[in-house]
């Protein structure tokens, strides 16, 4: 319990380097287990037994043994940068440093993945990369609104201060709309139906595998591990909203994750136009209106 | 260590099957048989796959496609011929355009007989191919013998 608390507070018993090290080591473990639970729960929802919970680790271990096939020398380098910047982003976040830096380096990491998709000559890779750009266009406004909302509620862009504000219950009281909008775009970020346009885990065609079509072996393993880091970071943001009690925070983060699994299994894939429209409309409805009302209330006070 | 045995990802190619074996393969992937218990996932992408499942006999037009698919798969990889047509060409073997079974083009590791092959048999074939995959991984890991190390020192350049 105090371990979770100390992840964010400046005066916790974990020093900054130890805090980064714990993220680098623990995040893939947690992310991999969550991915395994995801597959198990999905299997139960479909009336089957499903793979073991540690199946994602088996998959990555196998991918590391596969032959390296790259069509050019930049392809795997971009994936490495994607992984590196995702770890960097998560480290900054769990260090309690600036939330804006988290947002920007997060976008940078995702851009490197898009570059990887464009660096190959496969048309499937290109379509996947274009769809990923559309998805980024869809979710990025909401991520920025999350940062703005945190600033309005906590009076600072420092993740540490935002955490302090969360401990007083201010975040969830002031920003319910922001949380709802964030949950909406979380479906895109977790690559779940109906928004898994660019790269799906349930692919049976190359076009559905999209971005990752041309990646194999170690590069594919790196993509998967980067995705685990990403998921833990995104769930960490959910935890911020509920950080007044560690148990409630963890329960909320897990609840959000399994809500996405539920949505994944109950929706068919959307077209890109509907994805973009619905996301922006919901961002306006939930996120912007929340900020407008909050601004009005705060200036009246 | 059974690294390859834990997560076999498959890609399916219909050479010139009558769709009987294809439907049985699709049936194998349903919740009824749930191959994901063994980590089996249908990838639909040769670059992600470990096992190439082929149904139907090979003819002059699709032999090159089949070879291209196999070449795109990263090693270690294995081939499973599903159904009697993929195994030997069956009654089509004598046709003017048919080359025969899959083994006329690719090194087949497991033959699954049947017309059409039963889902149980297909699943058994996939799981038997895992031993082949693991053996091939160990062979790749083994330090090269004198014959394989002959080109040593010439560099890649």
- For A129-167, b/e burial (b = at least 16 CB within 10 A) is bbbbbbbbebbbbbbbbbbbbbbbbbeebbbbbbbbbbb
B3 touching chain A per CB within 8 A = yes
| Banded pLDDT at B157 (limits 50, 70, 90) | very low
pLDDT at position A142 is 95
B14 touching chain A per CB within 8 A = no
pLDDT at position A3 is 59
> What's the gap in Å between the CA of B23 and the closest CA on chain A?
15
The percent of chain A in helix, strand and coil, each rounded to the nearest 5, is: 75, 0, 25
Report whether pLDDT(B8) > 80.
yes
Q: Tell me the average pLDDT across A281-294.
A: 93
Of the partner residues B31, B43, B74, the one whose CB lies closest to the CB of residue A66: B74
B128 touching chain A per CB within 8 A = no
Q: Tell me the average pLDDT across A123-145.
A: 93
pLDDT at position B155 is 39
ipTM > 0.85 (yes/no):
yes
Residue A53 corresponds to which tokens in the numbers above? 């919970």
Question: What percent of chain B clears pLDDT 90, i.e. is strictly above it?
Answer: 68
Torsion over CA of A219, A271, A190 and A72, rounded to 10 degrees? 10
Which of B36, B43, B119 to mutate to test binding with chain A, by most A CBs within 10 Å of its CB?
B36
For the segment A53-89, what is each residue's pLDDT rounded down to a tens digit? 999 999 999 999 998 888 888 888 999 999 999 999 9
Residue A161 corresponds to which tokens in the numbers above? 């201060």
**Per-domain residue ranges for chain A?**
2-300
> What's the gap in Å between the CA of A278 and the closest CA on chain B?
29
A121 touching chain B per CB within 8 A = no
| Banded pLDDT at A6 (limits 50, 70, 90) | low
Separation of alpha carbons A25 and A265, rounded Å: 30
Domains of chain B are 9-141 (3.40.50.12280)
In this complex, how many residue pairs, one in chain A and one in chain B, have their CB atoms less than 8 Å apart?
Answer: 75
Among A49-63, A260-274, B9-23, B133-147, the minimum mean pLDDT is found in: B133-147
Q: Tell me the average pLDDT across A179-195.
A: 92
């Amino acid at each position: 319990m105090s371990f979770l608390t100390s992840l964010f507070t400046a005066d916790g018993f974990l020093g900054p380097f130890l805090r980064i090290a714990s993220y680098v080591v623990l995040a893939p473990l947690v992310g991999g287990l969550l991915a395994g639970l995801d597959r198990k729960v999905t299997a139960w929802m479909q009336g089957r037994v499903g793979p073991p919970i540690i199946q994602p680790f088996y998959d990555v271990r196998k991918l590391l043994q596969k032959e390296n096939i790259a069509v050019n020398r930049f392809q795997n380098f971009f994936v490495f940068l994607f992984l590196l910047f995702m770890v960097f982003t998560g480290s900054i976040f769990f260090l309690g440093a600036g939330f804006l830096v988290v947002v920007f380096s997060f976008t940078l990491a995702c851009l490197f993945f898009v570059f990887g998709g464009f660096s190959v000559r496969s048309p499937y890779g290109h379509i996947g990369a274009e769809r990923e750009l559309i998805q980024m266009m869809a979710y990025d406004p909401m991520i920025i609104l999350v940062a703005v909302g945190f600033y309005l509620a906590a009076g600072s862009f420092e993740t540490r201060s935002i955490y302090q504000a969360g401990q007083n219950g201010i975040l969830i009281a002031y920003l319910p709309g922001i949380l709802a909008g964030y949950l909406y775009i979380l479906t895109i970020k977790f690559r779940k139906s109906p928004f898994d346009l660019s790269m799906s885990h349930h692919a049976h065609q190359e076009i559905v595998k999209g971005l990752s079509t041309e990646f194999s072996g170690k590069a594919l393993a790196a993509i998967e591990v980067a995705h685990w880091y990403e998921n833990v970071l995104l769930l960490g943001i959910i935890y911020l909203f509920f950080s007044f009690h560690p148990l409630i925070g963890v329960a909320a983060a897990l609840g959000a994750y399994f809500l996405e699994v539920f949505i994944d299994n109950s929706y068919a894939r959307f077209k890109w136009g509907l994805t973009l429209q619905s996301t922006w409309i919901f961002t306006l409805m939930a996120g912007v209106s929340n900020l407008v009302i909050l601004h009005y209330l705060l200036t009246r006070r | 260590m059974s690294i390859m045995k834990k997560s076999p990802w498959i890609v399916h190619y219909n050479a010139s099957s009558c769709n009987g074996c294809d439907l049985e393969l699709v049936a194998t992937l349903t919740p009824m048989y749930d191959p994901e218990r063994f980590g089996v996932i249908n990838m639909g992408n040769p670059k992600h796959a470990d096992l190439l499942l082929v149904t139907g006999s090979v003819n002059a037009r699709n032999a090159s496609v089949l070879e291209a698919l196999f070449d795109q798969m990263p090693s270690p990889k294995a081939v499973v011929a599903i159904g009697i047509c993929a195994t030997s060409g069956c009654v089509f073997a004598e046709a003017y355009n048919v080359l025969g079974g899959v083994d006329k083009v690719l090194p087949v590791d497991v033959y699954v007989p049947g017309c059409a092959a039963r889902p149980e048999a297909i699943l058994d074939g996939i799981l038997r191919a895992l031993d082949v995959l693991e053996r091939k991984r160990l062979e790749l890991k083994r330090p090269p013998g004198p014959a394989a190390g002959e080109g040593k020192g010439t560099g890649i350049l």
